[in-house]
């Protein structure tokens, strides 16, 4: 707690200006991405009209648009844009925090077994014929069960070291992946099988305000938890021994971070299916911009993650008449970008 109290008002004054400029630039990027996403789509609505529809909610305006235009903007695109931004931000922040805690740049939120768990819950709900909120609830619950299992198995004599955690995560992830395969094997090829397959590849196509309302508390609570722990994550990223020497309750803090990540990941998978790569790639881009300090890394990751997923989702829903699964695009863009980032970082390290 002492770390939290002393460091909060303690930003270095000399870097204040460029940091603010940087923050503004990142925020502007997010805003532009959100507005662009709102203005494009398969249903033809002129951008100025789309913006006018949005403004008409806060200021009185004469409506020169059809009821359908208004529904598309306010009921289809607005919740979808917000949901994509929210999940993008949440996934990127979880990735950044986990990469700090594990001191390993290859860690992604999937590593704790939460997304395979949540995927199983969702697939189970679909194969039982449920959709909507039952699906979301099942995905979230199964994600939480997966994390609890990882926690229980990784703790030996009251302690869980990093390697044990990662291995347990892989084991539990594999277990739930096998259960998902079993469900696919049992699913009806005429109805539930294609639904499960598409859901597993990730999509925001079912976004509504109600779904946003379900995902938002989980993601926001998780992000807030990570934000309040930013100093502790900084200390954890020094290494277990160092953190313990500095008086940090390593075990407890680590699990708090995991719980926050599970909350975010469970909520995101529940409403959008499995969206890979965001939590892995975006923190690297953010680290390239602002370095490893979680105080700057978390907000920049959030903004970049949100912008990235907005871009990807806009492509997914408007590039063709068909919805392209998000997972396909995040991987197609993510993999080469990741490779480029890795090379650039390595070059930086060598030049040092």
Partner 1 sequence: MSCAGIIGGAALIVASCAPLRAQADCFGDLAGREVCLPRPAQRVVTIPMPSASTFIAVDGSAQRLVGMHPSSKRAIDEGLLGRMFPQARAIDASVAGVGADGFMPNVETLALLDPDVVVQWGDRGDDIVGPLRNAGLRTALLRYGTEPLARGNLTLMADIAGKPERAKELIAWRAATIADIEKTARDIPEARRLRVVYLQRAATGLAAAGANSYYDFYIRLVGGRNAADGLAGAPSINAEQIAQWDPDVILLNGFEERLTPARIYDDEILSATRAARERRVYKMPIGGYRWDPPSQESPLTWMWLADLLYPEAFHYDLRAEIARAYRLLYGQTPSQADLDEALRMPINGEARFYDRFAASASK
Q: Residue numbers of the site for partner 1 (CB under 8 A)? A: 41-44, 67-68, 71-72, 75-77, 126, 129, 131, 135, 181, 183-195, 197-199, 203, 205-206, 208, 317, 320-323, 325
Residue whose CB is less far from partner 1, 4 or 319: 319
Considering the complex, what minimum distance in angstroms separates the CB of residue 39 from partner 1? 13
Shortest distance (Å) from residue 114 CB to partner 1: 22
Which lies closer to partner 1 via its Cβ, residue 199 or residue 231?
A: 199
Smaller CB separation from partner 1, 4 or 186: 186
**Calpha distance 12→8 (Å, rounded):** 11
Report yes or no: 280 and 93 within 8 Å, Cβ to Cβ. Answer: no
Q: How far is the CB of 43 from partner 1 (least distance, A)?
A: 4
Q: Report the residue number, 27 or 134, with the smaller CB distance to partner 1.
A: 134
Of residues 200 and 268, the one with the C-beta less far from partner 1:
200
> Is the Cβ of residue 116 or residue 279 nearer to partner 1 in the bound state?
116
Handedness of CA 33, 294, 17, 341 (dihedral sign): negative
Count of other CB atoms within 10 angstroms of residue 321: 6
Question: Shortest CA distance to 272 belongs to which of 109, 115, 146, 142?
Answer: 115
Question: In the bound complex, what is the minimum distance in angstroms from residue 45's beta carbon to partner 1?
Answer: 10
Alpha helices in 187-293 (DSSP H): 192-201, 209-228, 230-236, 240-245, 250-272, 278-290
Q: Which is nearer to partner 1, 104 or 191 (CB)?
A: 191
Distance in Å, CB of 326 to partner 1, minimum: 11
Q: Are 82 and 212 in contact (CB under 8 A)?
A: yes
Place of tokens 């001191």: 103
Q: How far is the CB of 117 from partner 1 (least distance, A)?
A: 20
DSSP string, 8-55: TT---GGGHHHHHHHHHHHHHHHHHHHHHHHH-SSS---HHHHHHHHH
- CA-CA distance, 293 to 269, in Å (whole number)? 28
Closest to partner 1 by CB, 230 vs 317, is 317
- The least distance separating partner 1 from the CB of residue 212, rounded to whole angstroms, comes to 14
Residue 12 CB neighbours (<10 A): 7
Shortest Cβ distance from residue 143 to partner 1 (Å)?
Answer: 19
User: ∠ CA(239), CA(241), CA(242), 5° rounding?
Assistant: 65
């Amino acid at each position: 707690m002492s770390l939290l109290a002393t460091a909060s008002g303690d930003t270095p004054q000399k870097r204040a200006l460029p940091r603010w400029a940087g923050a503004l630039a990142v925020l502007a990027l997010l805003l532009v991405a959100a507005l662009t996403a709102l203005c494009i789509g398969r249903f033809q609505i002129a951008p100025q009209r789309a913006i006018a529809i949005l403004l008409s909610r806060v200021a009185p305006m004469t409506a020169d648009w059809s009821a359908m235009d208004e529904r598309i903007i306010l009921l289809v695109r607005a919740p979808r844009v917000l949901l994509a931004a929210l999940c993008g931000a949440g996934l990127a922040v979880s990735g950044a925090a986990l990469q700090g805690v594990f001191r390993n740049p290859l860690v992604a939120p999937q590593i704790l077994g939460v997304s395979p768990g949540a995927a199983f819950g969702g697939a189970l709900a679909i194969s039982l014929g449920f959709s909507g909120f039952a699906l979301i609830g099942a995905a979230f619950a199964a994600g939480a069960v997966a994390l609890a299992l990882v926690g229980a198995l990784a703790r030996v004599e009251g302690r869980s070291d990093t390697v044990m955690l990662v291995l347990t995560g892989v084991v539990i992830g594999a277990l739930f992946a096998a259960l998902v395969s079993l469900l696919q094997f049992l699913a009806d090829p005429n109805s539930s099988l294609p639904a499960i397959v598409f859901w597993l590849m990730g999509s925001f196509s079912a976004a509504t305000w109600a779904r946003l309302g379900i995902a938002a508390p989980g993601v926001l609570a998780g992000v807030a938890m990570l934000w309040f722990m930013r100093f502790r994550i900084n200390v954890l990223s020094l290494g277990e021994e160092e953190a313990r020497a500095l008086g940090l309750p390593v075990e407890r803090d680590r699990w708090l971070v995991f719980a926050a990540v599970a909350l975010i990941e469970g909520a995101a998978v529940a409403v959008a299916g499995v969206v890979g790569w965001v939590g892995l790639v975006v923190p690297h881009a953010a680290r390239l911009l602002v370095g490893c300090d979680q105080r700057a890394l978390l907000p920049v990751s959030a903004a970049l993650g949100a912008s990235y997923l907005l871009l990807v989702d806009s492509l997914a829903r408007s590039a063709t008449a068909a919805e392209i699964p998000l997972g396909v695009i995040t991987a197609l863009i993510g993999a080469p970008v990741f490779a480029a980032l890795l090379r650039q970082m390595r070059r930086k390290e060598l030049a040092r």
